[in-house]
Amino acid sequence: MKVGFIQCIIISAIFAIAGFLLFSSLNMEVSPLTVSAALLISGIVTPWLASLIQSSSSSNDDVSASVSADAVETLYVGNLPYRANENAVKEYFSSYAEVQSVRLMKDRKTGKRKGYGFIEVVAKDVNTVIEKTNDSTFQERTLKVRPAKEKVEHA
């Protein structure tokens, strides 16, 4: 459960009102002291509650981030037509899998496409994508699709 700023303000107001009602019900005179005590209770409980909520939501975010990071695999796509753009490639592969991103490689000097690129797809769809698209025809070219090799860092 994710709680935002507005929700914390509402929770704080609820605790302030509850504290005010508590001191009022004890037949204490409604005075600046009563209001101060209600605000003190609100000021102590709200940050504690917010820290609990934040720690639980950040641990949930860490889990979902690691799941989504593990759930995506990169595929090499070779023999692409030079005229193909990212949107066309994404549209073509989207009929076989959930495509997260497309990167088509370009020559640094000329800016022209090199005829290959990389797509990121949901891991569960990798085998299906390779089976369906490897050696398939896309814009009059026969594609070569396989898992991408890890990029080697040069020291």
Please state the pTM of the whole predicted model: 0.54
62-80 tens-digit pLDDT: 544 544 555 889 999 999 9
For residues 137 and 119, give the distance between their C-alpha atoms in angstroms, rounded to a whole number.
Answer: 17
Check whether residue 77 and residue 55 sit in a common domain: no
Can you list the alpha helix ranges (DSSP code H) found in the chain?
Answer: 5-25, 32-70, 86-94, 126-133
pLDDT at 150 over 60: yes
- State the number of CA atoms in the 13 A half-sphere of 30 facing the CB: 7
Q: Which two tokens stand for residue 143?
A: 């594609």
Domain with 26 in it: 5-67
pLDDT at 56 over 70: no
Check whether residue 60 and residue 81 sit in a common domain: no
- Please give the tally of structural domains in the chain: 2
Please check whether residue 78 lies inside any domain of the structure.
yes
For residues 24 and 32, give the distance between their C-alpha atoms in angstroms, rounded to a whole number.
Answer: 12
Check whether residue 80 and residue 142 sit in a common domain: yes
CA nearest neighbour of 90 among 78, 81, 99: 99
Check whether residue 28 and residue 82 sit in a common domain: no
Please check whether residue 114 lies inside any domain of the structure.
yes
Please check whether residue 154 lies inside any domain of the structure.
no
Check whether residue 46 and residue 91 sit in a common domain: no
100-139 tens-digit pLDDT: 999 999 999 998 999 999 999 998 989 999 999 999 999 9
For residues 23 and 31, give the distance between their C-alpha atoms in angstroms, rounded to a whole number.
Answer: 10
Domain C-terminal end among 14, 33, 67: 67
